[in-house]
Amino acid sequence: MPTTPRLFSLALALTLGISTVSCSKLRREPARPAMAPIDAPRSTRNPAQPAPTPTPAPTPASPPPAVAGGGPLPGSPSTFAPLVRATRASVVSIFANTRQVVGSAWGWSRPQERYSLSKGTGFLIADNGELLTNNHVIEGAEYIQVQLDDGRRFEASVLGRDPRLDVALLRVKAPGVRLQPVRLGDSDHLEVGDWVMAIGNPYGLAQTVTAGIVSATGRTGREVDLGEGNFGNLLQTDASINPGNSGGPLLNLAGEVVGINVAVRRDAQGVGFAIPINMARTVVPQLRQYGRAVRSWLGITPGEVTEQMLDFMSLPDTRGALVREVIDGSPAARSGIRPGDVIRRFDGHDIVDPTQLPWLASSAGAGHRAHVEMIREGQPLALDVTLEALPEAIPVAGGPGQGMVPIPPPGAP
pLDDT computed for residue 177 by the predictor? 94
How confident is the model over 329-345, as a mean pLDDT? 96
315, pLDDT greater than 90:
yes
406, pLDDT greater than 60:
no
411, pLDDT greater than 80:
no
Letter for the amino acid at 53? T
pLDDT computed for residue 75 by the predictor? 65
pLDDT computed for residue 353 by the predictor? 85
Distances (CA, A) of 128 to 125, 175, 180, 181, 289: 9, 10, 9, 9, 15
160, pLDDT greater than 50:
yes
According to the per-residue pLDDT averaged within each range, which of 39-48, 248-257, 348-357 is highest?
Answer: 248-257
Matching fold, domains 86-172 and 183-281? yes
User: Cα angle at 40 between 38 and 42, to 5 degrees?
Assistant: 115
Domain 183-281 has CATH 2.60.40.10: no
How confident is the model over 116-136, as a mean pLDDT? 94
pLDDT computed for residue 218 by the predictor? 87
Q: Within its chain, how far is the Cα of 290 from the centroid?
A: 30
pLDDT computed for residue 39 by the predictor? 42
Stated length of the chain: 413
pLDDT computed for residue 288 by the predictor? 96
Catalytic residues: 136, 166, 246
CATH class of 296-404: mainly beta
How confident is the model over 69-75, as a mean pLDDT? 51
329, pLDDT greater than 80:
yes
How confident is the model over 220-228, as a mean pLDDT? 68
- Confidence grade of residue 32 (pLDDT, cut at 50, 70, 90): very low
pLDDT computed for residue 198 by the predictor? 96
**Whole-number mean pLDDT of the chain?**
79
- Structural domain 86-172, CATH architecture: Beta Barrel (2.40)
pTM as predicted: 0.72
| % of the chain surpassing 70 pLDDT | 71
Least confident stretch, 95-109, 255-269, 393-407: 393-407
- Confidence grade of residue 332 (pLDDT, cut at 50, 70, 90): very high
Least confident stretch, 51-65, 96-110, 142-156: 51-65
pLDDT computed for residue 43 by the predictor? 41
> Taking a C-beta distance cutoff of 8 angstroms, is the pair 168, 110 a contact?
no
Domain range annotation of the chain: 86-172, 183-281, 296-404
pLDDT computed for residue 264 by the predictor? 75
117, pLDDT greater than 90:
no
pLDDT computed for residue 108 by the predictor? 60
pLDDT computed for residue 394 by the predictor? 54
Give the Cα separation of 23 and 300 in Å (integer). Answer: 98
pLDDT computed for residue 145 by the predictor? 96
- Confidence grade of residue 73 (pLDDT, cut at 50, 70, 90): low
pLDDT computed for residue 106 by the predictor? 59
pLDDT computed for residue 204 by the predictor? 84
> Taking a C-beta distance cutoff of 8 angstroms, is the pair 91, 121 a contact?
yes
Residue 355, judged by CB atoms within 10 A of its CB (0-12, 13-18, 19+), counts as buried
212 bridge partner residues: 196
| % of the chain surpassing 90 pLDDT | 58
Least confident stretch, 147-156, 212-221, 290-299, 395-404: 395-404
Q: Within its chain, how far is the Cα of 46 from the centroid?
A: 67
- Confidence grade of residue 109 (pLDDT, cut at 50, 70, 90): low
316, pLDDT greater than 50:
yes
309, pLDDT greater than 70:
yes
pLDDT computed for residue 226 by the predictor? 61
pLDDT tens digit string along 229-283? 677 789 999 999 888 899 999 999 999 999 999 877 776 778 999 999 999 999 9
* Backbone angles phi and psi of 140, in degrees to 5: 80, 5
Q: Of 53 and 399, which is predicted with more confidence?
A: 53
pLDDT computed for residue 233 by the predictor? 85
403, pLDDT greater than 90:
no
Query: Helix/strand/coil (H, E, C) string of the chain?
Result: CCHHHHHHHHHHHHHHHHHHHHHHHHHHCCCCCCCCCCCCCHHHCCCCCCCCCCCCCCCCCCCCCCCCCCCCCCCCCCCCHHHHHHHHHHEEEEEEEEEEEECCHHHCCCCEEEEEEEEEEEEECCCCCEEEECHHHHCCEEEEEEECCCCCEEEEEEEEEECCCCEEEEEECCCCCCCCCCEECCHHHCCCCCEEEEEECHHHCCCEEEEEEEEEEEECHHHHCCCCCCCCCEEEECCCCCCCCCCCEEECCCCEEEEEEEEECCCCCCCEEEEEHHHHHHHHHHHHHHCCCCCEECCEEEECCCHHHHHHHCCCCCCCEEEEEECCCCHHHHHCCCCCCEEEEECCEECCCCCHHHHHHHHCCCCCEEEEEEEECCEEEEEEEECEECCCCCEEEECCEEEECCCCCCCCC
User: Cα angle at 264 between 269 and 302, to 5 degrees?
Assistant: 125
